């Protein structure tokens, strides 16, 4: 069967799922629009200041829009966060002190977070190096799939636990991403055992995928990257934190300094981009999701193990494809790179990347370096050799790239 026919057949199977994604996008678009209307966003909020950034009304407006859309007491969205990991690190270091305990309740966290916590890397610089205690609740296997173990969470989280970490996306694993409904159940269990425990959600890759965000179901704090979902594909750098005011304030002081917190930091002419990107985010996320669903159906049809399944409920934008050996993983990334708008002439090769033990291969010529709301894929060179595909500013681009990937894998 020719690649074009495979793509066409796959599209015919997923029409209902695509319509559902569009309905969710409309819901979230209205939610974001109402946030802009409520906060009375004006052209004056695009103006920039320099130096300390005192009286930056654009910065304040951005924070208010994010807080309103995410149903938070307070939010900060800043170009000063260098990555999602940096953003999450500020949440952890800002809210945990020596002798307090953090528990990751959905298994081991993402590779780069292991160094922040202190499971590996420079222990002295980590949370553990600063005296924070750490533990994990593993996942359980059901019908061959790793899922949240609610009973184990109930047993592990008690009065001694000060904060739990819920990583919403799958990271570099084949586990299912965590839905907002599952987050709600985790929060219910944790708060029953310890009402004072901070429920912190790593929201990366999950924003605007569902109609509700974690704060709406009881989470205390969320954080994520602006070069993923909420940046709409145009924000050049940064991250956001939202939730209960005191927890956001502590995180902000970790970003800047005690006494400064969210009151300092010139936005350096980024305010319009951040606001515009956030406004565009629901529709851009929908395009990425539609591409992920098409990829799921295509890879299922040609005989590869891929998750989530085409009709599965989506809770993040990531699609994993298991190749079982390194060569097809490398070939997949090479083709995706060659059908990227930027640096299509380059050939990705596995290499060492800061924060990871294994060599990684990364593909995706993106307008913003490292932007994973743009079509991209990466994966560690370790068994079972999985490509983690994400993003796509428009569905047509994903479709084109998939056609050529199918042609390459058929050789």
Write out pLDDT tens, residues 49-107.
999 998 899 999 999 999 999 999 999 999 999 999 999 999 999 999 999 999 999 99
3-state class of 8 per DSSP? helix
| Sign of the Cα pseudo-torsion (18, 341, 296, 380, in order) | negative
Q: What phi and psi values does residue 194 have, to the nearest 5 degrees?
A: -155, 95
Dist. CA 62–CA 272, nearest whole Å: 9
135-147 residue pLDDT tens: 999 999 888 788 9
pLDDT at 246 over 80: yes
Neighbouring CB atoms inside 10 A of 326's CB total: 16
ω into 384 cis (within 30 of 0): yes
DSSP 342: S
Dist. CA 335–CA 239, nearest whole Å: 30
- Letter string b/e over residues 18-55, b meaning 16 or more CB atoms within 10 A of that residue's CB: bebbeebbeebbebbeebbeebebeeebbeebeeebee
Dist. CA 213–CA 379, nearest whole Å: 27
Q: What is the mean pLDDT of residues 122-149?
A: 93
Q: What is the mean pLDDT of the chain?
A: 95
- Domains of the chain (ranges; CATH) run 3-27+279-409 (3.90.1150.60), 48-278 (3.40.640.10)
Q: What is the mean pLDDT of residues 201-207?
A: 98
pLDDT at 378 over 80: yes
Give 14 or 409, the one with higher predicted confidence.
14
DSSP 290: H
Q: What is the mean pLDDT of residues 234-253?
A: 98
Give 192 or 173, the one with higher predicted confidence.
192
Q: Which residues pair with 167 in a beta bridge?
A: 202
57 burial type by CB count under 10 A (0-12 exposed, 13-18 middle, 19+ buried): middle
Residue 29: the pLDDT is 98
pLDDT at 411 over 80: no
**Cβ–Cβ < 8 Å for 138, 110:** no
**Cβ–Cβ < 8 Å for 66, 213:** no
Q: What phi and psi values does residue 315 have, to the nearest 5 degrees?
A: -125, -5
Question: Closest by alpha carbon to 173, among 208, 138, 200, 143?
Answer: 138
Give 120 or 117, the one with higher predicted confidence.
117
Q: What is the mean pLDDT of residues 139-161?
A: 93
352 burial type by CB count under 10 A (0-12 exposed, 13-18 middle, 19+ buried): exposed
pLDDT band for position 357 (50/70/90)? confident
DSSP 106-174: SSS--HHHHHHHTSSS-GGGSTGGGT-EEEE---EEETTEEE--HHHHHHH--TT--EEEEE-S--SSS
360-371 residue pLDDT tens: 999 989 999 999
Q: Which residues pair with 141 in a beta bridge?
A: 146
Dist. CA 301–CA 8, nearest whole Å: 11
**Cβ–Cβ < 8 Å for 194, 157:** yes
Residue 409: the pLDDT is 85
Residue 205: the pLDDT is 97
Taking the alpha carbons at both ends of the chain, their separation in whole angstroms is 12
Backbone φ/ψ region at 183: left (φ over 0), alpha (ψ -120 to 50), beta: alpha
Residue 358: the pLDDT is 85
Residue 295: the pLDDT is 98
Q: Edge-to-edge strands of the sheet including 198-202?
A: 74-78, 239-243, 221-225, 198-202, 163-167, 101-104, 133-136
DSSP 73-102: SEEEEETT--SHHHHHHHHHHHH--TT-EE
pTM of the model: 0.96
10-48 residue pLDDT tens: 999 999 999 999 999 999 999 999 999 999 999 999 998
pLDDT at 1 over 80: no
Question: Closest by alpha carbon to 109, among 188, 37, 60, 165?
Answer: 165
pLDDT at 134 over 80: yes
């Amino acid at each position: 069967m020719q690649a074009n026919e495979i793509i066409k057949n796959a599209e015919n199977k997923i029409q209902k799922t695509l319509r559902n994604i569009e309905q969710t996008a409309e819901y979230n678009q209205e939610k974001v629009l109402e946030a802009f209307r409520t906060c009375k966003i004006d052209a004056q909020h695009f103006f920039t200041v320099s130096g300390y950034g005192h009286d930056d009304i654009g910065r304040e407006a951005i924070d208010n829009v994010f807080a309103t859309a995410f149903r938070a007491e307070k939010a900060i969205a800043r170009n000063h966060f260098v990555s999602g990991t940096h953003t999450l690190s500020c949440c952890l270091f800002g809210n945990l002190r020596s002798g307090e305990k953090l528990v990751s309740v959905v298994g081991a966290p993402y590779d780069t977070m292991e160094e922040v916590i202190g499971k590996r890397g420079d222990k002295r610089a980590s949370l553990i190096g600063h005296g924070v205690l750490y533990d994990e609740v593993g996942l359980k296997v059901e019908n061959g799939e790793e899922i949240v173990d609610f009973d184990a969470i109930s047993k592990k989280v008690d009065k001694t636990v000060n904060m739990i970490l819920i990583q919403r996306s799958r990271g570099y694993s084949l586990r299912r991403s965590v839905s907002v409904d599952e987050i709600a159940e985790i929060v219910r269990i944790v708060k029953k055992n310890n009402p004072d425990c901070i429920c912190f959600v790593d929201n990366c890759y999950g924003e605007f995928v569902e109609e509700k965000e974690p704060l709406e179901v009881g989470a205390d704090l969320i954080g994520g990257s602006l070069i993923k979902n909420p940046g709409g594909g145009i924000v050049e750098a940064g991250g956001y934190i939202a939730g209960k005011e005191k927890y956001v304030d502590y995180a902000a002081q970790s970003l800047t300094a005690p006494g400064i917190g969210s009151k300092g930091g010139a936005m350096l002419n980024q305010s319009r981009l951040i606001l515009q990107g956030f406004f565009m985010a629901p529709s851009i996320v929908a395009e990425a999701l539609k591409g992920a669903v098409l990829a799921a159906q295509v890879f299922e049809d040609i005989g590869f193990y891929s998750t989530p399944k085409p009709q599965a409920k989506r809770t993040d934008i990531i699609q994993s494809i298991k190749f079982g050996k390194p060569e097809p993983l490398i070939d997949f990334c090479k083709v995706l790179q060659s059908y990227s708008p930027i640096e299509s002439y380059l050939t990705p090769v596995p290499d060492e990347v800061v924060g990871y033990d294994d060599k990684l291969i990364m593909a995706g010529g993106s307008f913003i370096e490292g932007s994973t709301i743009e079509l991209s894929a990466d994966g560690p060179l370790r068994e079972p050799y999985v490509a983690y595909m994400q993003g796509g500013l428009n569905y047509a681009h994903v479709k084109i790239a998939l056609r050529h990937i199918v042609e390459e894998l058929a050789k």
